[in-house]
Each structure stands twice: as structure tokens, then as C-alpha cells.
Amino acid sequence: MTVSGEPGRRWTRDALALPVLQVAPGLLGSLLTHDGVTVRLTEVEAYAGQEDPGSHAFRGPTPRTEVMFGAAGHLYVYLSYGVHRCVNVVTGEPGSASAVLLRAGEVVDGARVARARRLAVRSGVVPGRDLARGPGNLARALGLGADHDGVDLLEVGGPVDLRHGPAPAPGEVRRGPRVGVSGPGGSAERFPWRFWLRSEPSVSAYRAARLPSRATSRH
DNA sequence: CGTGCGATTATCT
DNA sequence: GATAATCGCACGC
């Protein structure tokens, strides 16, 4: 079983059920389509469930993380900082609770629709390369939201579609610490599980996790 | 260019 | 009641 596939062909559940560190880099260059917009993935992060202090599933199943404990190929969508929706693809065998966070992509179709969605939240024209740059922006550009939590990517005739793209050249894939991950023991450095395509302008800028603000008191 | 901060709310302790 | 897998803007160099 391989993670690679023919360009234009849909991902299979078996391929997505492989270990998350294998699937995550394999998703780079793939095409995700929803409601008039197609994005070519340029940046992703792997999260390894209960073995991973950076994962929402680290402390076991909860109502929110339930989808990640299920079969590969479903979407896990969560609300970040009370403001942004972020989209993951569930990977691995049932019970592994692993998933890949979709961090950025290049809008290859439907730029007009994507731009309109972004304009609803931001004043001024969004440059093309910024349309799906950053996980919150990617979700908004694609029109994905809370309603899509649990959606099966592989359902025939389903709303969301994930296809293989032309495989990136081997030297194009880069790897480094995940963005903004705090968690016990500062898991960003210990788990360099962010993957991206070199020299892609849509890849988001790296930001370290914000340090806990010491001044807790507010009045 | 880099760094810092406020927004806003579902989720879990 | 505290926290968080972020974003865009303000400000200082």
C-alpha cells in the first residue's frame, strides 16, 4: 500500500489509513475541492493522537475529538481561539486518533469565490497567494465550517473531494517544527511534524507558540 | 522587517 | 474560570 496515487484520482481510505507521518507529506500537492473552490495543498501538520501532547486527542476521547478516533478520511473541524475554523483529515487505523491539519494551499480554481469569502472578514483586496494561507484562511476560502465536522471525504457524491495531484519533486518537501503548538513539555521542537513545499508563496509564516502571559489579573 | 496584542467562544477541568 | 493547532493590525527599528 502506497501513499502516492495517480494525479486526478481520488484518495482511497486504505491510503489515508496508513501512519500519519507517512500520509501527511504525501498530501502535499493534492487537490481539495468544496463548493466552487479548489486548493492545492502546500503546507500540512501531523498530529498523532494519544501519543502526541500537541494533539487535541492526547487526553483521550471527548465529544469534540470523537471523529479522530474513527475511520480515516473524515474531516475534523474545530474552532480555534473562538474565531477561526481549522480543518483536519483523519488518518490511520480506527482508534489511532491521528489527523493532518491542513495549513495552507494555492487556490487553483475559484479564486473569485475564495476572494469574496475572505472579503467578508477582511477589508481590502486579498492577494492571490494569501487566499488560503494559514489554516483559518484555508477553511474560509474553501467555505468549510462547523457543519463539515465529520464529513466523509470518500463518500461518492459527497460535498468535499480530495484528489491526488502531480507528485512534488522529492527535494521540494521540507520539514520542521509545528506552528503555535504549546502543550506539555513544549511539543513543537520535540515533534517536527510540519511539512511544506519549498518556494511556495502560499506557505504560512512560522510563528512560535505565544508564551503564557504572566499578568493574569484583569478587572 | 520583526514583535506584540486583542478578538471571541466552544470545550474541558 | 482558563485555555487555545490563529489572524490582522499597530507600532518600533
pLDDT score of A17:
98
pLDDT digits over A62-117, tens only? Answer: 999 999 999 999 999 999 999 999 999 999 999 999 999 999 999 999 999 999 99
Taking CA A163 as the corner, what is the angle to CA A121 and CA A4, rounded to the nearest 5 degrees? 125
**Least trusted range by pLDDT, from A26-30, A72-76, A119-123, A197-201:** A119-123
Nucleotide with C1' nearest the A60 CA: B12
Taking CA A169 as the corner, what is the angle to CA A165 and CA A173, rounded to the nearest 5 degrees? 90
If you average pLDDT over residues A154-172, what whole number do you get? 95
Distance from CA(A1) to C1'(B3), angstroms, rounded:
46
Query: What is the C-alpha to C-alpha distance for residues A47 and A105, in angstroms, rounded to an integer?
Result: 19
Nucleotides of B under 7 A from a protein CB: 5-13
Distance from CA(A126) to C1'(C9), angstroms, rounded:
15
pTM of the full predicted structure?
0.95
